[in-house]
Amino acid sequence: MDAENNKPLPSAFEGPDDSPGYVLWRVANRWQREQRNALQPLGLTHTQFVVLAVASWFEEKEALTQIRLSQLTGSDTMTVSQVVRVLEKAGYLARIAHPTDTRSKVIRVTKTGRELAEHAVQVVEATDKQFFLPLGDDGHALMTLFNKLLR
């Protein structure tokens, strides 16, 4: 190895811990690990939980198609399609005829799916509470910043 290869990367940052993207990536990975461990006993992945929870929240407000679930969750349509298939096979979701679009199906949460969603949301929220506890009152500021980034 020559000395040229031992130089730091041409970065605006002193090191990776000064990069907001890198730090966010590390925090997100840690948070995902915590959620994965919390949801594992329920037999759900975090993506499955999100789809089930969002379907539970919005199904009474609108006819939820896979495309609409994709929009509401911020997940790509292929991922939502695969997750809906798994949750349907497990008996947590059902597809019924769309009231106005014969080409589409409406995603409905079954009774069992609703019960699981109610339990899972408690688990996820408790895990979030523990994860974000070190922030104290700054948690509200973090939510404001997160929402600013999503706009």
- Assess contact for 39 and 120: CB atoms under 8 A: yes
Q: How far apart are CA 126 and CA 114, in angstroms?
A: 18
Opening angle at CA 78, ends 71 and 91, nearest 5:
90
Instruction: Identify the CA nearest to 56 among candidates 96, 115, 7.
Output: 115
Q: Is the pLDDT of residue 3 over 70?
A: no
- Read off the pLDDT of each residue in 17-42 and give the average, rounded to a whole number: 94
User: Per 3-state DSSP, what percentage of the chain is helix, strand, and coil (rounded to 5)?
Assistant: 70, 5, 25
Stronger pLDDT, 20 or 90, i.e. the higher one:
90
Q: Which two tokens stand for residue 34?
A: 């915590």
Note the pLDDT tens digit of each residue in 45-90.
999 999 999 999 998 898 899 999 999 999 999 999 999 999 999 9
* pLDDT computed for residue 55 by the predictor: 97
Kindly report the pTM of this predicted structure. Answer: 0.86
CA distances (Å), origin 134, targets 28, 54, 99, 140: 15, 27, 48, 12
Instruction: Please write the tens of the pLDDT for every residue from 89-135.
Output: 999 999 998 888 888 899 999 999 999 999 999 999 999 999 999 99
Q: Which helix or strand (DSSP H or E) is residue 84 part of?
A: helix 77-89
